[in-house]
Every structure is written in structure tokens, then in C-alpha cells.
Amino acid sequence: MGRIFGTDGVRGVANGELTAELTLDLSVAAAHVLAEAGAFRHADGHRPRAVVGRDTRISGQFLEAAVVAGLASAGVDVLLLGVVPTPGVAYLTAALDADLGVMISASHNPMPDNGIKFLARGGVKLDDAIELAIEERLREPWDRPTGGAVGRVEEYAAAVDDYARHLVSTLTRPLTRTADGRPIRVVLDCAHGAASQAGPLALSDAGAEVIAINDSPDGLNINDGCGSTHLERVQAAVLEHGADVGFALDGDADRCLAVDHAGTVVDGDQLLAVLALAMRDAGTLANNTVVATVMSNLGFVNAMKSHGIGVRQTKVGDRYVLEAMNAVGYTLGGEQSGHVIMRHHATTGDGLLTALHVLARMAETERGLGELAGVMTRLPQVLVNVDGVDKSRTDEDHLVAAAVAEAEAELGETGRILLRPSGTEPLVRVMVEAGTSEQARTVAERLAAVVRARLAL
């Protein structure tokens, strides 16, 4: 059997790869591994406790039941949070002093998919070693508790309110324009997902005028033509309602993208740039450095440099961003896709937290998002996926290396090249940034042809 855990928990087609049986077994194994690793407290009669949340997928109901069955049968008490965003589960794992958090979601994936994500005490992601240990302990024989030693299960009805209250508490001012005292008008695309209730509640409680769209989940419509992967909905709504700004969340609301008052897209790099300057001005940007990935646009790096802010770049994936942040104590990091981590307030990417603090910057400066995002100029970026190749040889072939070196010399300081083997598919990604779209496309296709010829299977 190959690895079960991916870069963000366990995912697959619900009732296909991700069955109730596998989910139950994973929950039992997680309870055993974490208990033996000393992650569960037993002092003063404390019983191990887990919090469990889910997004709006209909499959989340039977998977939730499987998680509960596994944990309770292993002697873990369970608090059911209901439908709540992934960062809400992370927050409540810490706030409710739970030993374990579980989120049932496949984020931005299509509705038939689902996933299981485990969080350790404090609401942090499990280490790779712990995930591997859980896989190795699947379906092993074990001594089952009986009688009063089995876990209790309760509903925790205040989950959404607690999480929304926490989000609002991170702000220092209401979301109104100083000039006329008018609330900032915001369109929020909830993707028919986990933030359909928490999102409008948090933004309105913070003082914004909220126009919520795609906030009527029916178990089947999550991410369906809406949310952060389909920005045309929020663009149209911003123009229709004359809103100041729009935000689009994904299914579990751990990331967001935005559009300004004119409907122009503002991506994760630009949101990160806005927040970096806000935190620098507030004195909360640790080491005057922001963490991003190697896929962040060169325009972002150049903009930060021009404002005296350092950029630490990591491999693609929010877990690598978080690792770098934790290692040094950085307070801001994120990805172009809209995962933004504000370490003072959250242990993971949080789309609503990002939106609130971007709105706070708009209120503080009395400037629109388009103007604020103008701090960086995006370089044209072209990505070509080259399939049918031996990706393991990407860094070994001397002719590929020579072609890259020649292209880098051609671009000079006005562009950038990245060749990256895919982590999940037999292909190599060729990314080129340049001063013009035409130049970026020409160089990318030329390099892709070399990769295809030299690394063909």
C-alpha cells in the first residue's frame, strides 16, 4: 500500500478511496499513536478529548460518524462542532483545550471528494513522522476499552459563534471608512461551503456591510462554479452591488482570493503584499520578513525588496510555509493561491482572517484594494506542464541545465525560471516570468521542448 497521507491530510472520493471503514481505522490509529506519543493528558483525571468539524459535503455526515465511532471506541471524548471552517477547528482545538482536532473536508476539490485532517494539541498539523506512524498502525489488534472507559459524544453548539468572535477580536478598529463613517461594502462568496454561516457573521460583526453569495449549501453544491476557483461570480456581484471589494473563499475557508471595486482580481501574492506592509507599519512583522513559496511572482519579491522587507521562499505547500515560519518565528506567510497564515492569530491559513485584515488596512488607509494591491506589479507568468517524462532526472540532465542557464541569461534580472517535478503526477512544471507575456510564453515553450526531448519515457 502506498502512502495514505498527502501534503494536507487524507483525501479521495468519498465512499470510493475514502471509505467509512478506512476513516474509522485512521481515527483509532491516530488516537493510539498520539496517546503513546504523550500528546494526550491524563493528569487530574483528565479524559482525552477531540473536537470534530466538517464542511458541507453530504458525505461529511457518514465520515463524521466514522470518525466519532473510531475515537469514542478508543476511549476519546468527542465534541461535535458541526459545519465550521478548517481554521475554526484549529482555533477551537486550542481554545477548548482539546488533545486532538479533526476536520472532514476536501477543501477546494469537487463535491464527490472528501478528506480527513488531524490536528495535534494547540491546533497544529501533525508531523510527518506521526502521520507515518498512524499509517503503520492501521488495523492492528488492540485492547478495546469497555464500560465507562469508552468515549462520550456531545454536540458543541457554540462553535461558529466562538470562532467568529475570535476573528473579530483580532481587529483594533471597525470596518468603516473614516471620511464618512460608512461601513465598507463587501461581497463574500462562501462557495456553499464551511464558512456559509461563520463568514457573513464575522464580517458583519466587525462592522462591514456584507452581501453574501453562494451561502446556501445543500450538501451537493460546494465549490460548484463558485468560490475561489470561479471568481467570475464574485466579480459580477461586486459590480452589480457597487461594492468596495469582494472576497471568494474555498470550500473549507482556509484560503481566499479577492477582487477590487472594479472587479479586477487580486491574488494571494498581492494580498500578502498588502498585509506585509500593514504589519510592518504596525510593528508586528517579525524580522521584517514575509515567507512565500518559490511560485510567488517575482513582482512580489521585487515589491517587498523595494520596501525594505525580506522574503523567505520555501517549497510549494502551506505546510512548508508554516514550517519556515515556526522555525524562525516569522509572523506572516502565504501562497499565491490565497493561503495566508497570520501566526499571531492562527496556526493555519484562514481566508476569513485574511479578508478581515485586508479590510482593516482599507479602513485604516482610506484606500481601495486596487490601490493597495498596486504596491506590486505582477510579471507575466506562464506555466507549461510537460507530461510523459521521467521527472526524477530533471536535475541531472546537463542539456536541460544548459538550456535553463541560457534562458536565465537572456531574461537577466527582468525574469525568472523554475523547473519543478510534480509531487503527484509524472510531469515537470516549467514556469517562466518575464517582462512581457510573449517573451514568457516563448521561453517557456522552448524549455518545455528541451525537457520533453531529453526526459521522455
Residues of the binding site for Mg(2+): 107, 250, 252, 254
Q: Locate cell 473614516: which residue?
A: 178
Burial of 351 (0-12, 13-18, 19+ CB in 10 A): buried
- Cell readout for 48 is 482525552
User: Is 437 part of the annotated catalytic residue set?
Assistant: no
| Measured distance CA(191)–CA(78) in Å, rounded | 28
Handedness of CA 437, 443, 448, 451 (dihedral sign): negative
Among the listed residues 217, 212, 213, the one whose alpha carbon sits nearest the alpha carbon of residue 202: 212
Q: Are strands 77-83 and 153-155 parallel, antiparallel or unpaired?
A: parallel
| Measured distance CA(194)–CA(222) in Å, rounded | 9
Binding residues: 107, 250, 252, 254
| Measured distance CA(122)–CA(128) in Å, rounded | 17
| Measured distance CA(190)–CA(234) in Å, rounded | 10
| Measured distance CA(313)–CA(144) in Å, rounded | 46
- Pair 419, 400: CB distance under 8 Å: yes
| Measured distance CA(175)–CA(360) in Å, rounded | 6
Q: Determine phi and psi for 355, rounding to 5 degrees.
A: -60, -45
Burial of 329 (0-12, 13-18, 19+ CB in 10 A): exposed
Q: Left if phi > 0, otherwise alpha if psi is -120 to 50, otherwise beta: which for 143?
A: beta
- Pair 340, 290: CB distance under 8 Å: no
Identified catalytic residue from 27, 59, 105, 107: 107
By annotation, the residues acting in catalysis are 107
